[in-house]
């Protein structure tokens, strides 16, 4: 496969940068220049596009950059999935697989928003967690110079491929294969850390490797929901900040390159009751900040889609590590009913969180703060009235 000439790609790069500016994701000249000069197609020569087959099964069909038509596909504001979990991916066609995505080139508008939020300045040293394709590292190199950029990915093959691509466009950042929750050991202090995979809590290594006053930006995954937080670290190692206006979610950090983490789940009891509720599935599904508040209120709880084997009807289900669950239907006549098994209090707590959120005017996600203390404990709070939730360590 030969990659298209840069002259052919240039108008596509400029068009993507223009689109991101108009959307408000790019807010400064420096990042506009980076997006207009770094060729995404070099970093994403292959990707997988999602298709749903006639049985409703999602398959990933491979696409390649092999002509100008495909360039249009790469220079869109879309996430391009580039890796599938080898433990679950199954080939179902000559160029199609099932499986859980384990690497991607992030949605460009999300990347641009995060890079702007990071607040890098000339001369800053930046650590990226999750090298992936190398595209975001290249953007950082274009902005700061390769010598100031470090990046870690748990998958050695991704690091090797990214290094070749980065060198191919003239950048030579420090890349390391390994678990990015350990940061980049022995590389001195960073001014900024940006993570493109999610973590359940901020790793100690990141705090230790940031200079006092340094900033980190990461997706914290809190069970039911999660979000991007931008935290400043003080001289004592306390990190404090906010959920950013830029919203987005990332795949979970894994400690093993060969497989995607999957939670051990207990047996769930049969339904023990049902009752009317004012908290409906469409309300939960359509309100990201509500899901965040539910996540604050209900630690160790997940929110999953549930499909009834008998009727095929879909529901949203809260489920906890002790087996308790509660579900509300997504469609049909019973949307005002909750069915539960195990602890009835699970749904009651969700209703209380919803009542609080509605009562204080349905605040958006960027109205919440996030803090991590020096002992690793963390809490979130509502900026307006100070209501606070401690997060499990």
Ligand X SMILES: C[S@@+](CC[C@H](N)C(=O)[O-])C[C@H]1O[C@@H](n2cnc3c(N)ncnc32)[C@H](O)[C@@H]1O
Interacting residue with ligand X among 109, 136, 280, 317 (CB under 6 A): 136
Least separation in angstroms between residue 180's CB and ligand X is: 3
Least separation in angstroms between residue 288's CB and ligand X is 19
- Among the candidate windows 153-161, 302-310, 323-331, 378-386, which touches ligand X by CB under 6 A? 153-161
Pick between residue 72 and residue 156 the one whose CB is nearest to ligand X.
156
Nearer Cβ to ligand X (57/87) = 87
Q: Within 68-127, which residues bind ligand X (CB under 6 A)?
A: 102-106
We find the least distance from the C-beta atom of residue 357 to ligand X, in angstroms, to be 29
Q: In whole angstroms, what is the distance from residue 358 CA to residue 251 CA?
A: 30
* One of 31, 35, 135, 296 touching ligand X (CB under 6 A): 135
Does 181 sit near ligand X (CB under 6 A)?
yes
Cβ proximity to ligand X: between 250 and 306 the closer is: 250
Q: Is 153 in the site for ligand X (CB under 6 A)?
A: yes
Nearer to ligand X, 19 or 153 (CB): 153
Distances in Å between the Cα of 129 and the Cα atoms of 35, 193, 219 are 20, 8, 11
In terms of CB distance, is 214 or 248 closer to ligand X?
Answer: 248
The Cα–Cα gap between 202 and 334 comes to 40
Taking the least distance from each CB to ligand X, the nearer of 25 and 328 is 25
User: 317-321 — which CB contacts under 8 Å span 24+ positions?
Assistant: 318/224, 318/294, 318/346, 318/347, 318/350, 319/265, 319/268, 320/346, 321/266
Contact predicate 96/126, CB 8 Å: no
- The 8-class DSSP code of residue 381 comes to E
- For position 12 contacting ligand X by CB under 6 A, the verdict is no
Please state, in angstroms and rounded to a whole number, the distance separating the CA atoms of residues 155 and 79.
19
247-266 footprint of ligand X as x/- string (CB under 6 A): ---xx-xxx-----------
Parallel/antiparallel/unpaired status of strands 101-105 and 96-98 = unpaired
In the numeric block, the tokens 């390994």 are attached to 178
| Interacting positions 192-251 with ligand X (CB under 6 A) | 196-197, 250-251
- Tell how far CA 336 is from the center of its chain: 31
Tell me whether residue 185 is exposed, middle or buried, using C-beta atoms within 10 angstroms of its C-beta: 0 to 12, 13 to 18, 19 or more: exposed
Residues 102 and 146: beta-carbon distance below 8 Å: no
Query: Which part of the chain contacts ligand X (CB under 6 A), choosing from 23-31, 146-154, 211-219, 351-359?
Result: 146-154
Q: Which residue has the tokens 């990201």?
A: 288
**CB 104 to ligand X: min, Å:** 5
Give the integer Cα–Cα distance in Å for 201 and 226. Answer: 11
Residue 128 or 191: which CB sits closer to ligand X?
A: 128
Handedness of CA 168, 36, 80, 193 (dihedral sign): positive
Report the residue from 108, 132, 203, 342 that binds ligand X according to the rule CB under 6 A. 132
Please give the size of the binding site for ligand X, defined by CB under 6 A. 26
Q: Specify the DSSP element, H or E, that contains 233.
A: strand 226-233
- Which 312-371 positions form the footprint of ligand X (CB under 6 A)? none
Q: How many residues are present in the chain?
A: 393
Residues within the interface to ligand X (CB under 6 A): 102-106, 129-130, 132-133, 135-136, 152-155, 158, 179-181, 196-197, 250-251, 253-255
């Amino acid at each position: 496969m030969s990659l298209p000439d840069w002259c052919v790609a240039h108008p596509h790069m400029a068009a993507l940068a223009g689109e991101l500016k108009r959307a408000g994701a790019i807010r400064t000249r420096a990042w506009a220049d980076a997006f207009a000069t770094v060729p995404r197609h070099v970093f994403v020569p292959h990707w997988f596009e999602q298709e749903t087959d006639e049985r409703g099964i999602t398959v990933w069909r491979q696409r390649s950059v092999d002509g100008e038509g495909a360039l249009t596909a790469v220079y869109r504001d879309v996430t391009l999935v580039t890796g599938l979990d080898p433990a679950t991916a199954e080939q179902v066609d000559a160029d199609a697989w099932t499986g859980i995505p384990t690497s991607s080139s992030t949605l460009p508008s999300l990347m641009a928003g995060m890079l702007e939020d990071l607040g890098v300045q000339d001369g800053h040293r930046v650590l990226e967690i999750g090298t992936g394709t190398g595209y975001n590292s290249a953007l950082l190199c274009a902005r700061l110079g390769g010598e100031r950029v470090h990046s870690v990915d748990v998958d050695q093959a991704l690091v090797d491929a990214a290094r070749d691509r980065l060198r191919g466009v003239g950048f030579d950042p420090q890349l390391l294969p390994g678990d990015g929750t350990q940061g980049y050991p022995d590389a001195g202090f960073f001014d900024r850390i940006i993570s493109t995979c999610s973590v359940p809590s901020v790793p100690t290594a990141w705090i230790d490797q940031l200079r006092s006053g340094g900033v980190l930006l990461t997706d914290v995954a809190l069970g039911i929901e999660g979000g991007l937080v931008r935290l400043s670290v003080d001289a004592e190692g306390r990190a404090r900040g906010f959920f950013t206006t830029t919203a987005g979610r990332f795949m979970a950090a894994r400690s093993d390159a060969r497989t995607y983490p999957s939670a051990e789940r207990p047996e769930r009891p049969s339904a023990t009751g049902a009752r009317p509720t004012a908290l409906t599935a469409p309300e939960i599904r359509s309100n990201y900040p509500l899901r965040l508040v539910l996540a604050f209120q209900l630690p160790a709880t997940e929110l999953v889609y549930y499909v009834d084997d008998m009727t095929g009807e879909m529901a949203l289900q809260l489920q906890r590590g002790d087996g308790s669950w509660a579900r509300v239907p997504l469609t049909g006549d019973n949307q005002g009913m909750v069915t539960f098994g195990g602890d009835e209090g699970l749904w009651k707590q969700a209703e209380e969180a919803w009542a609080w959120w509605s009562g204080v005017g349905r605040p958006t996600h960027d109205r919440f703060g996030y803090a991590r203390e020096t002992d690793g404990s963390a809490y979130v709070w509502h900026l307006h009235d100070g209501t606070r939730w401690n997060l499990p360590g």
